[in-house]
Amino acid sequence: MARESGSSRFTESGLPIEPVYGPDALGDWDAAEKLGEPGAYPYTRGVYPTMYTGRPWTMRQYAGFGTAAESNARYKQLIANGTMGLSVAFDLPTQMGHDSDAPIASGEVGKVGVAIDSIEDMRVLFGGIPLDKVSTSMTINAPGALLLLLYQLVGEEQGVDPAKLTGTIQNDVLKEYIARGTYIFPPKPSLRLIADIFKYCKAEIPKWNTISISGYHMAEAGASPAQEIAFTLADGIEYVRTAVAAGMDVDDFAPRLSFFFVARTTILEEVAKFRAARRIWARVMKEEFGAKNPKSLMLRFHTQTAGVQLTAQQPEVNLVRVAVQGLGAVLGGTQSLHTNSFDEAIALPTDKSARLALRTQQVLAYETDVTATVDPFAGSYVVEKMTDDVEAAAVELMGKVEELGGAVAAIENGFQKNEIERSAYRIAQETDSGERVVVGVNRYQLDEEEPYEPLRVDPAIEAQQAERLKKLRAERDQAAVDAALADLKKAAEGTDNVLYPMKDALKAKATVGEVCNTLREVWGAYVPTDAF
């Protein structure tokens, strides 16, 4: 009899699942105004009215290692297995703006991501992958402009109109000073570069998400959920202020802002965290910046499961952890998701473990009923109270950042870093004492771990990349490279948008290191105050 309902989804018992539930489902009209509706201000219940009832979140798998050719093969496997978007990991030399043959890059080429030195590597990385058909996220920050331009150039070589390119560059330098460390330039020129990227993308690559403001790395460094969203949103406010000060209208760029958060195993608080973050951001954009476009008020975010919670002990248990973390992200309303592979606490993921991580998302999307209705936890006493509590704690921290003069001034004061380190120390103490249970580490250990064969990166790729660079420099038009780099230096010294001469230099086959070194000559390199 229940099957006669107008609902499109039903429980295993044949009972209807409504697309959206509200306070009226239980006759509780008093809560209606506070909860609001999905897809409506303040977006506590999600940024879209239908959320996953129409289509699931974008399933991204973060991948990249060794050479561009090896990473290209992994991307094609992931696409064949059903991933909806690519997510590129770059090696440390690329992240720091150094070529693979630079002395400082020794021992790190291709280790934690793919080595990209020039447009030739970028061509190989996306060879056979139609860039007008995939959405690509790139975890790159200080040299984010370079990798975006290389991506655009490869797309143009494929005949793709830049207006059709979709994806995201992380491009969040402020969190690098707080928690991660892959910065290049001091804060002021870094923010100028970000404003240039905003302007360039509005004119040239309008569908591109120009920044992914990241709390993930702060969480991995030990930030609590409240600290994670407080410091991330404070960074977001700084970026918006920078763009507005550079003459941009908030509604011209805010719809392309996105965020990046972690999903821990503590499902209830994580769901509350995501709801609170949406609510705070909508209010800030409306009240402080006067945004009029509803898309400017929406906090859209990507989620990655918590790498810091993975263990090398009994690594298969990480499959359970990742499933729980992924479920929390989905219940919290993420727009895209990366699920970590179970072996990442040991080494780079194998093909099989990467496939299992993707299959975890597919089970959540297609075998559970969490996509049948919008915002399943709405009206839950515990989740709504936790949302209020996390919001209050985050707003208090954001107030302290403001008292110090904003995110950059607080960073220079060491405020965020000190707060996160205190939280990390507390977590370590609780783990050491056994108060915080970590299965396989401080409880339910094995006397002897089972052997596991991890994926290894061939150290020979460093020599291979050096040889590619030698050949590139010998065959390119050096006069054209020198002229383009001179134009870039002139733009960096003045006020012109640096992305246009930067694109010309990269097209002429200037390397990532050469472009970054040109900017270093003008802007200098950041040295943290606690290094002395």
Number of domains the chain contains: 1
109 DSSP 8-state letter? T
Residue 54 sits in which domain range?
Answer: 33-433
> Considering the domain boundaries, does residue 89 fall inside one?
yes
pLDDT at 531: 42
pLDDT in tens, the chain (532 residues): 344 445 667 766 576 777 877 666 555 545 556 678 999 999 999 999 999 999 999 998 888 899 999 999 999 999 999 988 899 999 999 999 999 999 999 999 999 999 999 999 999 999 999 999 999 999 999 999 999 999 999 999 999 999 999 999 999 999 999 998 999 999 999 999 999 999 999 999 999 999 999 999 999 999 999 999 999 999 999 999 999 999 999 999 999 999 999 999 999 999 999 999 999 999 999 999 999 999 999 999 999 999 999 999 999 999 999 999 999 999 999 999 999 999 999 988 988 999 999 999 999 999 999 999 999 999 888 888 889 999 999 999 999 999 999 999 999 999 999 999 999 999 999 999 999 999 999 999 999 888 888 778 888 999 999 999 999 999 999 999 999 999 999 999 999 999 999 999 999 999 999 999 999 999 999 988 764 3
pLDDT at 532: 34
> Considering the domain boundaries, does residue 22 fall inside one?
no
d(CA 496, CA 314): 54
pTM of the full structure? 0.91
pLDDT at 496: 97
Find out whether the peptide bond into 42 is cis, omega within 30 degrees of 0.
yes
Look at the block and give the residue holding tokens 């936790």: 386
> Considering the domain boundaries, does residue 413 fall inside one?
yes
Helices 144-157 + 512-523 axis angle, to 10: 140
> Considering the domain boundaries, does residue 514 fall inside one?
no
pLDDT at 32: 56
pLDDT at 23: 67
> Considering the domain boundaries, does residue 476 fall inside one?
no
Q: What is the DSSP string of 19-41?
A: SB--GGGGT-GGGHHHH--TTST
Q: What is the DSSP string of 259-272?
A: EEEEE-S-HHHHHH
456-470 core/surface letters (b: 16 or more CB in 10 A; e: else) = ebeeebbebbbebbe
> Considering the domain boundaries, does residue 498 fall inside one?
no
Output the domain CATH number for residue 100. 3.20.20.240
> Considering the domain boundaries, does residue 439 fall inside one?
no
pLDDT at 512: 98
> Considering the domain boundaries, does residue 443 fall inside one?
no
